[in-house]
Structure formats: structure tokens, C-alpha cells
Amino acid sequence: MSYKEQKNDDWTLTLLHTNDSHGHLLPIEVSSLDISSQLRLCHSFPLYKKLGGFAYLAEAVNRIRQENDHVLLLEAGDAFCDSEIANITKGHFYISLMNQLGYDAMTPGNHDVDYGIEVLKQRAYEANFPMLAANLLEEETEAPLLGYPYMVREINGFKIGIYGLTYHLTSETTSQKNTNGAKYTFSLGTIQSDINQLKGKGVNCVIILSHLGSDLDREIAENIEGIDVIVGGHSHEPIPKEIRNGVIISQSTPYYTGLGVLQLQFNRSSLVGAEGSIIPIIPENLQPNVNIQRMINEMRFEHKNRLEQDVGSITSPMIRNYKRESPAETFFGNILRTKTTSDISILPGIGFGVTIPPGPITLEQLTNLLPHRSSIYTVQLKGRDIVAALEQSILNQIHPDVEERVGGLIQVTGLAFVYQYSSKLKNLVLNVRVNNQPISLDQFYKVVLNQLMFEGGHKYSSLKKGQNVCKWEQTDIEMVIDWMHSNPALPVYEEGWSKPLRIPDSQKFQKRCFPLENSNIEE
């Protein structure tokens, strides 16, 4: 929609936004089977086989710029991470692409710090746009770590304030070494105070650029005065436009598969209306931006051998799920468990990644699911500590304080359990079994963990109690590749190790919390 012909007193700011690309620069195949199926939740999306591609998104952005007078382009985080090219350049290449396209501001996501705080500072220095994060502080001084908590841009005589908030639980989602020297916070009082300062500078419209996830975005909208718009990321939830307590909330689809568009309509003094949509980035309907495509092609050609390295083959899709058993994590966990002769594997529930189709797999494809080259540890853990981690995983999904929720369903092999959400917030798992026998709470089991789980990430503090710790020479992806080379044409499938307890709808409480009988666990 074009707003070029409006009268001077009534004008429109076109707000374009992206989020959660996780390094996907090329079009992806959209699956109905895994977390990429979330793209189909947006009513704007036809059922196309391929979506996305940064060069195609760039073309869509430039078309809108040509048709509209006042345009801002914002990024809500997790932009330069989780891919082989991101690993090669530590995110530098993605900043170069964003500079070329002309982004106006960004807030970093929790995975944009996966190369460490010093690298994040360097990426912020290289950017031709401010990286905004009011709640990311220097640990010693508590000053904004990236220097910019917010920015003010004057457009058509109006002052537009953009205030950045990164994910407050980032230290729970990445290795400890990556956040050394940084302090992540979340305080509604502090946010309100900062917004008051912005309004005191004569700002006419306040936009929060958030990587907190949609649940916390809604909480902010309901509790903070003086904000007009929240542009979000992190939760991968397509929200063309939602109104909450008079605040406009929007979030685009991940992996550059969609371009969020908010048409903010102003009169002489204030924001008076908005239209929201997510434009699907459909490669067959667009020509790629020439300069952006050239940059991508040159980078890919330089590292062609590494990207296309053959790592094995699979006979069924490698699917990643987030809130339930993930065949990909079951596949990886069984390999780690076998390679380390462990009783149990425990991996985190991860919310990014798209299906790898059957057939040969390249290093680039596998890296999109295992990007972090994580160290692998085996430990001896008591059954009670394993059960505590399972309980924590369910609590992470349903905690009554939204800001305490983190991660997806814990991913295991070598054991099975039944779980259910309970309004009592305890006894959330039952019938935990190892080798088809009830788990013994005082028995030690050999457990294989990745770096995040070994450090107690996702609030799994009980996993830090392991004894007889052994750090293996190979990383997670090296173990997987080694196994796949030795075992060609492997199937990937669910084992059914986790089962939700079915309770009649009449017994359900709010927030999908259910009462649950005591778990059947052997002492």
C-alpha cells in the first residue's frame, strides 16, 4: 500500500521488520512437520514449498521504499548466528549484508552473543546502525554494554523513539563464557523509567524493539505506560498486528521467510491508527537484489568446499521439534549415548532449525541444527537429579511468572517419562523409566550432556551435580559426523520417550495447567 499521496497533516510511517533469521540467507523448504510449520500459522502465507532468501527480502524492502516516503527497517535479533557462514565470519558477513540493505536499528538476540561479548561489541562497532539493548549492561559499571539503550529519529517533524530490549535470560541459553562481563536484566520499573525519559525528550511515538518473546511483549504492553508499538522476536510467533492495552504488537516470521510491515498513521500530533501484515518472501515471485545476491554468491563460492562437505545421509527427514520430542535430538542423543557408552543422554529443547530432507547431508545443513560445536561431557548423576531436571523442563514451560520461562522440552534418550502441566507446579513428571524399569532416585546413572546442559543452562541446576566428570575430545557435531560416516543411510524417527498425560477438557485450568497425582517413582 502506498501512502505517498496523503496530505501534509496526515502521514504514514512504514515500519519494516525482520527477526530470527538464525543465519538462513537462502530460501528454505517449508515443512508441515516441524517448527518451520509455524510459518503456516500466518493467514497471509499461501502454501508455497520455498520461502525466504535475504536477497529476495532485500528486493521486497526496496520496492516498499520506492512506494513510500517514510520508511524504517528494524531487526529484532538472532540475525548473525547458527550457520556455517556465521561460524566462519563470527557474524561479520551478516552485518555487511545488513549495512548494504540499510537497516536503521537492531536489538541483539540471545544467539547473537554465541561468539562472546567482545565479538558482539565488534559487530556493533561495524554496524552502520545502532544496536539497542537497554537491559544488556557492563557487569562492573552497569552501563549499557553496547552504548545505545535507545535512539531518537526525527521523521516528518515527529520524534520517533526506538528502545531496545534483548533476551533477559540469555545467560541460560548459551555457554557461560559467552556472557562473561555482561549482565542481563528485566525490570518493569526500569523500563517505565526509561520510557518516561524518552517522553521527556519530546518523543511523539515510542517503539520498543524486543527480543523478549511475545508473552513478555504482551506483559510490557499491559504494564508500561507511554509506549505505542512493540516490534518483537525470539518466540518465532507470526503476529501481523495485535492490540494489547492500546499498544500495537507485531512480529514477523523467522528465517527471512516474511517481511513484517506496519503502516503507522499519524495526524498533526500523535499516532492514530495502524495496519499490519506479514509479506511472504516467495522466491518465484521476486527477483533477488543484485548487489546482495552477489555478496552472498561470492561468500559461498569462497567457502564452497566447506559448506558442501558431505557428512552422511539419512533415509527420512531430520525434523526438529521444540515443545515435544524432537526426532533430530533423539537422533543426536542416541549417537552421543552410543559413542560415550552412557545410560542416558540429555540435550536442551531448541527452537530454531528447519527440516533436513532425506538423502545426502552437507556440513552446512547439519550446522544449522548443531551450530555451536559444543563440548561433550559424561557424568555420573543420581536418579533424583535427573528427575529434577525433567520437572524443571515442564516448569520452564508453564511458570506463572512469564519472565521465568525458558527453553523447550528437555530432550532425552535412554529413559522415558510421562509429563503433565499442573497448577500445583510440582510432581510434573511420573513413571520415569530407564531400561523399562522405574528410575531409582539414589542410583547413579552415566549421563552424556552438551556444554549448555553441563553448565546447568535452561535452569537445570541439578545437572551440575554430576560426579566423575569426563570431557570428551570430540565436539557434538564431530561425534555425529563420525558416526554418520561409519553408518550410512540412517533413519531419523521419534522413539516416543515422552508422553503428555491426557486429561479431559473439563478438568483443565487456565494456562493449560492441570492437577496431577503424585508421580510413580521408585525411591
Tell me if domain 11-299 and domain 310-512 are identical in fold: no
Average pLDDT over the chain, rounded to an integer: 90
Question: What is the predicted pLDDT for the residue at 203?
Answer: 96
Q: How far is CA 307 from CA 84, 288, 364, 365, in A?
A: 7, 21, 5, 8
Which among 340, 334, 338, 431 has a CA at the least distance from the CA of 380? Answer: 340
* Angstrom distance (rounded) from CA 246 to CA 238: 19
| Model pLDDT for residues 376-385, shown as the tens digit of each residue | 999 999 999 9
pLDDT band per the 50, 70, 90 thresholds, residue 495: confident
Please report the pLDDT score of residue 47 as a whole number. Answer: 57
**Mean pLDDT value across residues 339-349:** 98
Please give the residue that has the higher pLDDT: either 516 or 278: 278
List the domain boundaries for the chain. Answer: 11-299, 310-512
Under 8 Å between Cβ of 402 and 484:
no
Per CATH, the number for 11-299 is 3.60.21.10
- What is the reported pLDDT for 29? 83
The answer to whether 226 and 206 are in contact (CB under 8 A) is yes
The answer to which of 29-33, 221-225, 233-237, 499-503 has the lowest mean pLDDT is 499-503
Helix (H, G, I), strand (E, B) or coil at 48: coil
- Contact (CB, 8 A) for 405 and 513: no
pLDDT tens track for 200-255: 999 999 999 999 999 999 999 999 999 999 999 999 999 999 999 999 999 999 99
Q: What pLDDT was estimated at residue 1?
A: 30
pLDDT band at residue 278 under the 50/70/90 scheme: very high
Q: Phi and psi dihedrals of 126, rounded to 5?
A: -75, -25
Give the pLDDT mean for 425-445.
93
For residue 3, pLDDT beyond 50: no
pLDDT of residue 273: 95
Percentage of the residues of the chain whose pLDDT score is greater than 90: 81
Of the pLDDT bands very low, low, confident and very high (cuts 50, 70, 90), residue 300 is very high
Answer with the residue of higher pLDDT: 269 or 88. Answer: 88
d(CA 211, CA 191): 14
Confidence band of 39 (pLDDT split at 50, 70, 90): low
pLDDT at 354: 84
Q: Tell me what percent of the residues of the chain surpass a pLDDT of 70.
A: 91
pLDDT, one tens digit per residue, over 120-174 is 999 999 999 999 999 999 999 999 999 989 999 999 999 999 999 999 999 999 9
User: Which pTM value belongs to this model?
Assistant: 0.92
Q: Does the pLDDT of residue 521 top 80, yes or no?
A: no
The predicted model gives 308-324 an average pLDDT of 92
Distance CA 191, CA 403 (A): 14
Closest CA to 148 of 169, 132, 164: 132
The C-alpha atoms of residue 362 and residue 141 are separated, in whole angstroms, by: 45
The candidate with the shortest Cα–Cα distance to 164, out of 103, 109, 238, 82, is 109
Say yes or no to pLDDT of 457 above 50.
yes
pLDDT reported for residue 426: 79
Domain 310-512 is found in CATH 2.60.120.380: no
Give the per-residue pLDDT at 36.
Answer: 52
Please give the pLDDT value at position 516.
30
| Candidate from 152-161, 225-234, 285-294, 420-429 with smallest mean pLDDT | 420-429
Q: How confident is the model at residue 14 (pLDDT cuts 50, 70, 90)?
A: very high
C-alpha to C-alpha distances, 520 to 129, 360, 417, 440, 517, nearest whole angstrom: 55, 43, 10, 11, 9
pLDDT of residue 514: 28
Per-residue model confidence (pLDDT) at position 46: 55
b/e per residue, 39-76, with b = 16+ CB within 10 A?
beebeebeebebbbbbbbbbbbbeebeeebbbbbbbbb
More confident residue, 50 or 94: 94
Residue type for position 366: L
Name 165's bridge partners.
Answer: 210
The per-residue pLDDT for 33 is 58
- Average pLDDT on 254-275 reads 94
